[in-house]
Structures are given as C-alpha cells and as structure tokens.
C-alpha cells in the first residue's frame, strides 16, 4: 500500500503549482485539502489515516491532544522552522519527525507598508467611493515626516526601518531584547516602550508570539497612543489584546488599524472587526507570495521525499531549534 500524505489548508488551490508533488506519486497518495477544519473531533477523524501531514504555518494547530488521536502519524512538515502551533514534545514522544522549510520575511514587510499606505492615503475608502460615484470625499496624509514606532527590531523590523527611511519617516524602536547599539546599527532610535507608544504616528508589531509577548499591547498601551495614530499588526494576532483593540477603535482612541493577523483564523464571518470603518483587513497574506510559496512547497516536497527514502532530513524542527529561533534577537 502507498503511504498516505495530507496537505492541509491549501486555501488558494496552488500547492501543486508551486510544489512538484508528482515526485511522490510512485510511493504515496497525496490528498490536498482546501478547506479549514477548526473542530478538533472532525479534524482527528479526517487525519486519522495519514502517515505524513504538510501544514502551512499555523493555519491548523497540532496540540498534544490531537497528535495523540492520530495513530498513523509519522511525520509533520511545516512551512518555516518555528511553528509554535505544533507540540514538538508530544511529537517527539511518539517519534514523529517534524521538519520545516526556509522562509524570507520580505512579504511581511511588503504587507506592513501596504497597510500603512492604505490607512494613510485612505485607499480602501476612496476606492469604494469612486466605484460608487463619489469623488474626493476625504483628505489623506503622508508618511514623510511621520514617526514609525517598530516593536521588534529583528529580521523583519530592520527591513521596515529601511523602507520608513525611504519615505523620509523617522524610525524609533523597542523590544524586550533590543539594545541601543542594535537599534542604532539598524538606523532606528532606541526608546522605551512607553515613549514609543506616545511618540509614534504608526505603531507596528514585529515580534515572535510567546508567553512573554502574548497580550503585549492592551488597553493601557492603546491609551498611550496618539488619537491620530495607526496600529499595524502583521505578526500574530494574540500579540495585541483583541478586546482592548476593538474598544480603542470604536471609541476613537486611535485613528485606525491595519491587520493581517487575528486571534482566530480564518476570521469568523460575524467578527466585529469586519464592520468597523477605521480598519484595513487582509487575510494573513504577509507570507503569501509566489516567492514564498515556491520555497515552501518545493521544500515540503523535498522533505517528504527524504522522509520516504529514509534519508537524512536537513531541516529537522525540535523544541531546541524552535526555542532558539524564538529567542534569537534578530527575530524580535
């Protein structure tokens, strides 16, 4: 019998376009799922037959309780090398191989500035207006001369600094691991968290989600921001307290928010963020690009081929690897 392999959450139906899954055809049956199951019972029933599962980022979590319900599971392949939604200890206890792929982060930087520009220039508003027959209903703003507050000056945050400078904006930065020397080397001014929130015209998050950073931006922090400031999150939804964010947006304590990530993904149809006029929302597309998908799916297939061959896998993910990646100051 052929090995059963599942590819999850291929929302756009492009997995086979970017990865040569035909390389597996002689030895494996590959089932690609385009829908997303949030219910754990339904997910356990669906995935029970599979020996290997390929996952895209944290779209589908694999906690210990789910792993324990998958008796045939022997390998998990994830895009990226630090997927915190997989319980690596539970996988190791079952001798389940977890491996990953390379990633660039350039798409996240692009998404960050797409959201900043959309908010400042009122792109989504004027696009709707012109389609509905209205002309010049509002007045946008310019990034030049503004202060961009970057929380997390790692691999992505450093790139945000460079683009901010290209727009003639000033970059200030803070994170739990940041030093004044690293900030200066990146071209940003090192400030305290409170100072960043008080000074910034745009506050943008670029941190790894962990127990220490979960809920880092809450009611107190939104209260410290200027009422004219925009909040941007292209990292992970739970970095900000969603209830506090909704209150700040509804009450006009901040001017607006550009969000690519959410506490629950896909974002529920009845979620209140969908109805707020001072938001620009995108469906977690910071890593969704042709270049990223080509890397992800090509290397997912490479990892699966190596696993089927019993050959060494170059990109094994362990708790130590994930912890090291999360603690790396270049990522925070």
The verdict on 114 and 90 lying in the same domain is no
Model confidence at 327: pLDDT above 80: no
* Mean pLDDT in residue range 205-218: 94
Confidence (pTM): 0.91
Contact 160, 188 (CB under 8 A): no
Q: What is the pLDDT of residues 154-174, one digit of tens each?
A: 999 999 999 999 999 999 999
pLDDT over threshold 60, residue 221: yes
My answer on whether 263 and 120 are in the same domain is yes
Active site residue 206: no
236 part of the active site: yes
Give the pLDDT score at 314: 79
**Residue 29, phi then psi, degrees to nearest 5:** -100, 120
User: Of 236, 242, 315, 331, which residue is the catalytic one?
Assistant: 236
Q: Based on the fold, state whether residues 18 and 59 are members of the same structural domain.
A: yes
Q: 139: exposed, middle or buried (C-beta count within 10 Å: 0-12, 13-18, 19+)?
A: exposed
- How many other β-carbons are positioned within 10 Å of the β-carbon of residue 267? 17
Q: Specify whether 138 is located in the same domain as 271.
A: yes
Asked whether residue 158 falls in the same domain as residue 98, the answer is: no
Q: Which among 206, 284, 315, 331 is annotated as catalytic?
A: 284
- Give yes or no: residues 202 and 269 share one domain: yes
- 265 shares a domain with 171: yes
The first and second tokens of residue 178, run together, are 């940041």
Q: Residue 152: which domain range?
A: 106-281
Q: How many CA atoms lie within 13 A of 131 on its CB side?
A: 6
Confidence of residue 318 (pLDDT cuts 50, 70, 90): confident
Q: Is residue 217's pLDDT more than 60? A: yes
Do both 23 and 82 map to the same domain? yes
| Domain containing residue 194: CATH number | 3.40.50.720
Name the band, by pLDDT with cuts 50, 70 and 90, for residue 322: low
- The model's confidence at residue 258, banded by pLDDT at 50, 70 and 90, is very high
Kindly indicate the confidence band of residue 323, based on its pLDDT and cuts at 50, 70 and 90. low
DSSP label at residue 80: S
In the chain, the number of structural domains is 2
Residues 32-61 have a mean pLDDT of: 96
CA distance 285 to 282: 7
Joined tokens for residue 63: 């906690």
Percent of the chain with pLDDT over 90: 88
Q: Tell me: do 260 and 297 sit in the same domain.
A: no
What is the C-alpha to C-alpha distance for residues 52 and 31, in angstroms, rounded to an integer?
11
- Determine the Cα angle at 318 with ends 13 and 283, to 5°: 30
Contact 193, 171 (CB under 8 A): no
Mean pLDDT, range 30-42, rounded to an integer = 97
In the prediction, which pLDDT does 326 show?
Answer: 56
- CA distance readout (Å), 159 to 66, 113, 199, 332: 37, 11, 21, 13
Confidence of residue 329 (pLDDT cuts 50, 70, 90): low
The predicted model gives 101-118 an average pLDDT of: 92
Statement to judge: residues 208 and 173 lie in one domain: yes
Residue 330 predicted with pLDDT over 80: no
Alpha-carbon distance of 143 to 4, in angstroms, equals: 51
Residue 209 has pLDDT above 60, yes or no: yes
Residues 141 and 159 in one domain: yes
Give the per-residue pLDDT at 27.
97
Three-state DSSP at 237 gives: helix
- In 22-154, the DSSP E strands lie at 28-32, 52-55, 75-78, 97-99, 147-151
DSSP collapsed to 3 states, 52-74: EEEECCCCCCECHHHHCCCCCCC
Q: Among 70-79, 96-105, 142-151, 251-260, where is mean pLDDT lowest?
A: 96-105
Average pLDDT, the chain: 94
Exactly one of 68, 189, 195, 265 is catalytic; name it: 265
pLDDT score at 106 = 87
Residue 321 has pLDDT above 70, yes or no: no
Same domain, 209 and 182: yes
Phi, psi of 30, rounded to the nearest 5 degrees: -105, 125
């Amino acid at each position: 019998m052929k090995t059963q392999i599942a590819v999850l959450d291929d929302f756009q139906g492009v997995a086979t376009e970017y990865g040569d899954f035909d390389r597996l055809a002689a030895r494996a049956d590959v089932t690609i799922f385009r829908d997303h199951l949030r219910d754990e019972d339904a997910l356990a029933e669906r995935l029970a037959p599979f020996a290997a599962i390929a996952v895209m980022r944290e779209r589908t979590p694999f906690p210990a309780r789910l792993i324990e319900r998958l008796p045939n599971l022997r390998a998990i392949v994830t895009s990226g090398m630090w997927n915190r939604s997989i319980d690596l200890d539970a996988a190791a206890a079952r001798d389940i191989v977890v491996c990953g792929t390379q990633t660039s982060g350039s798409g996240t930087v692009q998404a960050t500035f797409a959201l900043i520009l959309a908010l400042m220039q009122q792109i989504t508003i004027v696009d709707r207006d012109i389609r509905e027959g209205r002309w010049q209903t509002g007045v946008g703003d310019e990034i030049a001369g503004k202060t961009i507050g970057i929380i997390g000056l790692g691999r992505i945050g450093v790139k945000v600094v460079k683009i901010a400078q290209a727009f003639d904006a000033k970059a200030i930065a803070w994170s739990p691991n940041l030093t004044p020397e690293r900030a200066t080397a990146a071209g940003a001014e090192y400030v305290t968290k409170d100072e960043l929130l008080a000074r910034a015209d745009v506050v943008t998050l670029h941190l790894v989600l962990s127990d220490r950073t979960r809920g880092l931006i809450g009611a107190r922090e939104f209260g410290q921001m200027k009422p004219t400031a925009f909040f941007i999150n292209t990292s992970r939804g739970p970095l900000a307290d969603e209830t506090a964010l909704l209150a700040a947006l509804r009450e006009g304590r901040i001017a607006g928010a550009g969000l690519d990530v959410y506490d629950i993904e896909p974002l529920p149809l009845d979620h209140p963020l969908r109805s707020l006029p001072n938001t620009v929302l995108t469906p977690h597309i910071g890593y969704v690009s042709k270049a990223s998908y080509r890397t992800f799916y090509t290397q997912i297939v490479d990892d699966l081929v190596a696993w089927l061959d019993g050959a060494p896998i170059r990109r094994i993910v362990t708790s130590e690897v994930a912890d090291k990646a999360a603690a790396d100051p270049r990522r925070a």
